[in-house]
Structure 1
Amino acid sequence: MNAPARYELFVLDEGERPVEVIEDTKIPNAATIKVMKQDHTLGNLIRAQLLSMPQVLFAGYKVPHPLQPHFLIKIQTDGTATPTEILEQACNKLIQMMVSLEAKFKREFSFKDVDGAVAEDPYGTVTAGGATWTDGRDYLDF
């Protein structure tokens, strides 16, 4: 089969760099960044975060071929910051967002027993007396 071994899709080879920046010589304040051993999941997430930033004029990504485990992301800024600085800021914001989401998820779906009265599971069933999940809360209420 032509598909590479599974570990080749996420394990960096000896001496392989995870990120490579290629400055664009034709477009001012632009660069193409090659991110190794990643796919659409991370590419789309970074692109969406970049587009939400006011300094970014253009952000797009592509996966050149499905059998090659990397993507290319193109960034053009307004000149107040370099594309690599903007990418770093976007990644830091995404990390902060994921940490916040994890904390909210753990808080919402923790199995707490409040004074021995109510213990809920994530599906809203009450195990020992008390209100049910439908007492005004929704599973999306973070």
Structure 2
Amino acid sequence: MANAPDRFELFLLGEGQQKVTTREDTRTPNTLYFVIEKEDHTIGNLIRMHLVKHPEVVFAAYRVPHPLVPNVELRVQTTGKITPKEAVQQVIQDLLHQLSTLGQNITREFELKRMAMEDGR
């Protein structure tokens, strides 16, 4: 495609580019916009799904502004007991823990299957 960026531009940050930037929503209290560079619907929807389950989050949504620009805009509003930044940090910590546990479980199952195959020789 003539307008498509080079593949490496879809996942490598540019010189001085930050992974996440924020800006305040001045129209709505306790609301921040997070722009996550070099990501797509996968991370946007994953974070949003967990944010809406958080008891202090009033609203969470994401969008990908343009299909050829690899970034996600996440909008988060909280009750005010915690900040949107704290809610996102808590959710990401929880997701990292879940992914770590999943990785350990997959590794354990793989090792069990490998040992069973070796015993069956």
> Into which bin does the TM-score normalised by the smaller protein fall?
over 0.9
Q: Distance in 2 between matches of 1:101 and 1:70?
A: 26
Residues 1:128 and 2:120 aligned together: yes
Number of corresponding residues: 119
The CA deviation string for residues 22-76 of structure 1, in whole angstroms up to 9 with x for no partner, is: 1111101001100000001110110011111111010000000000000100000
**Partners in 2 of 1:17 and 1:106 — Cα distance?**
33
2:72 corresponds to which residue? 71
The residue aligned with 1:16 is 17
- Aligned equivalents of 1:12 and 1:18: distance in 2? 7
Normalising by the residue count of structure 1, what TM-score does the alignment of the two structures yield? 0.79
Runs of 4+ residues deviating >6 angstroms? none
Measure how far apart 1:3 and its partner are: 0.1
Within 5 Å, give how 1:34-49 maps onto structure 2. Answer: 34-49=35-50
Q: Which has the larger radius of gyration?
A: 1
Gaps of 5+ in 2: none
Q: SS where residue 15 of structure 1 aligns?
A: coil
Q: Percent identity?
A: 42
| Partner SS, residue 100 of structure 2 | helix
More helix as a share of residues = 2
Letter in structure 2 aligned against 1:128: G
Work out the CA distance in 1 between the residues paired with 2:96 and 2:53: 15
Residue 106 of structure 2 corresponds to: 105
Match of 2:83 in 1: 82
Structure with larger RCO (C-alpha < 8 A, sep 6+): 2
Distance 2:90 2:120 in 1: 47
